[in-house]
Structure 1
Amino acid sequence: MSRTERLLDLLQLLRNRRTPVTGPALAADLGISLRTLYRDIATLQAQGADIQGEPGLGYVLRPGFTLPPLMFSADELEALVLGTRWVARRAEDSRLSDAAQNAMSKITAVLPAELRDQVEGSPLIVGQGEIIPAAVDMGAIRLAIRTEHKLSISYRDASGGATDRLIWPFAIGFFDRVRIIAAWCELRQDYRTFRLDRIVGMESLADRYPRRRGAMLKEWRQREGVPPQR
């Protein structure tokens, strides 16, 4: 393990703990000596990490530390590249695609030269694939979800029947060919999913829905057996 990877692992160990953890425990987890651990902690503190504590009492990382440029492993960089490339090519949401490309540009700009070369020369390729395009603005749907506002939609089911619905959207699902909204439907008084390619009209409303988005998402996941995503 390189020293950079070791420092990253040390940060992650501290970030995962809300209470102080002793030096011997950290050293054992990392497979290093106490002397090396103390030197690594001093290095991270010098780079701006608010690590509080001392030998014999334990250490804790205070919130708010921004990772310096070297704090990405090769696997983490490839995951970032693959994720942003997928969003840029497959999300079918122009604002989200632009945001993914901008985010990757910001990350690449602060990487050292050798890691920047790995990103720019990444062999991970995202194919275009066949996607059934949505007829509505996905950016407007994402905004409604973030702000917990209702949407009025005109929806056609698989047989072509049309209905008007008032929904409380709380999630968007990205599948291979289609995108769906998970929402509470006022007409059915129950949770429903709606394919975006079957929404033929949509209006964002000023009304906020009365429940918290996170609570509905948790309840829907439990009912549908959808595991939480990390």
Structure 2
Amino acid sequence: MSRSERLLDLLQILRRHRRPVSGHLLAEELGVSLRTLYRDIASLQAQGAGIEGAAGFGYVLKPGFLLPPLMFSEDEIEALVLGSRWVAGQADERLGAAARDALAKVAAVLPPDLRDALETTPLHAVTGGPNEAEGDALATIRRAMRAERKLELVYRDAAGQESTRLVWPFALGFFERVRVLAAWCELRRGFRHFRIDRIAGLTPTETRYPRRRQALVAEWRAAEKIPPRP
């Protein structure tokens, strides 16, 4: 592995971690000595990389630092294309358009050979996308989650019985055929999951729910025994 490749790998490793990582762990993952790692970090910092930390404390990449386009391998390009195409076919119209726009921005800064790989990749995502009503509901739910606002739902269960719920929306799950809202339900006083295609009515409110969304997600993951994200 060349030194330039190693430096890019180091940036990628740091990007995967949200908290400081010890120099020993970084050196072990890269297969280099601790002295070499310290030199590599100093070199990246001198080139403008937002790496914070010090020996004995650990290192973390500051949020917002952009990796150079050469960082993308052909496998990563294919993953980006496949993921963007899946989102474009599975989510609401606005989010689908955002996925296509994001891919276009990536293509604009890629070197010619990688741009060709992006545009000619043979990978395609076939999904059963939402209808217009579901798409509108998804867009409304996403806005409510970002603003941490309560939603009033008229929900129809599997037997066709309707109930009105006031919920705190905090996550959306996109599956092959259905989309599911995870929320705290005031009526049931607990976490509940609502299929988007069974929502008969949806009214956004201006009432902020009393917990931070990140805290709700953490509690929900613990309750459902969902492993943490890598």
Quick check: TM above 0.5? yes
Distance 1:125 1:3, change over 3 A: farther
Query: TM-score of the superposition, structure 2-length normalised?
Result: 0.82
Aligned-partner Cα distance in 2 for 1:193–1:50: 39
Contact persistence 1:136–1:201 (CA under 8 A): no
Change in CA separation of 1:155 and 1:76 when aligned onto 2, cut-off 3 Å: same
Residue 111 of structure 1: aligned partner: 110
Greater Cα radius of gyration, structure 1 or 2: 1
- Matching residue of 1:207: 207
The separation in 2 between residues aligned to 1:159 and 1:53, in whole angstroms, is 57
Give 4+ residue runs of structure 1 displaced > 6 Å after superposition: 33-39, 56-59
Higher helix share: 2
CA–CA distance in structure 2, aligned partners of residues 165 and 216 of structure 1: 18
Equivalent residue number for residue 187 of structure 2: 187
CA contact (8 A) 1:87 1:96 kept: yes
Shift of 1:229: 3.4
Summarize the Cα distance change of 1:62–1:152 in structure 2 as closer, same or farther, 3 Å threshold. Answer: closer
In the TM superposition, residue 3 of structure 1 has moved relative to its aligned partner by: 5.5
Report the Cα distance in structure 1 between the residues aligned to 2:78 and 2:72, rounded to whole angstroms: 10
* 1:71 partnered with 2:99: no
Partner of 1:222: 222
- Any stretches of 5+ residues in structure 1 without a counterpart? none
Q: Distance in 2 between matches of 1:37 and 1:84?
A: 35
Q: Using a 3 Å threshold, how does the CA distance of structure 1 residues 30 and 148 change in structure 2: closer, same or farther?
A: same
User: Against the structure 1 CA distance between its residues 45 and 191, is the aligned structure 2 distance closer, same or farther, given a 3 Å change threshold?
Assistant: closer
Deviations 1:136-170 (A, max 9, x none): 42111011111110001111111111111111111
Q: Which amino acid aligns with 1:150?
A: K
Distance 1:146 1:21, change over 3 A: same
Give me the TM-score of the superposition, normalised by structure 1.
0.82
The separation in 2 between residues aligned to 1:121 and 1:3, in whole angstroms, is 30
The corresponding residue for 1:18 is 20
1:70 match: secondary structure: helix
**Cα pair 1:144 1:151 within 8 Å, conserved:** yes
Conserved 8 A contact 1:7-1:40: yes
Range with bigger deviation, 193-202 or 27-36: 27-36
Farther off after superposition, 79-88 or 30-39: 30-39
Q: In structure 1, what is the equivalent of residue 100 of structure 2?
A: 101
Change (3 A) 1:36 1:120: farther
Cα distance change on mapping 1:187 and 1:2 into 2, 3 Å: same
Paired-residue identity, %: 56
* Residues 4/110 of structure 1: CA separation in 2 closer, same or farther (3 Å cut): farther
Residue 212 of structure 1: CA displacement? 1.6
Supply the distance in 2 between the matched residues of 1:48 and 1:157 (Cα, whole angstroms): 55
Count of aligned pairs between the two proteins? 225
The code of the aligned residue for 1:196 comes to I
Asked whether the equivalents of residues 172 and 181 of structure 1 are also in contact (C-alpha less than 8 Å), the reply is yes
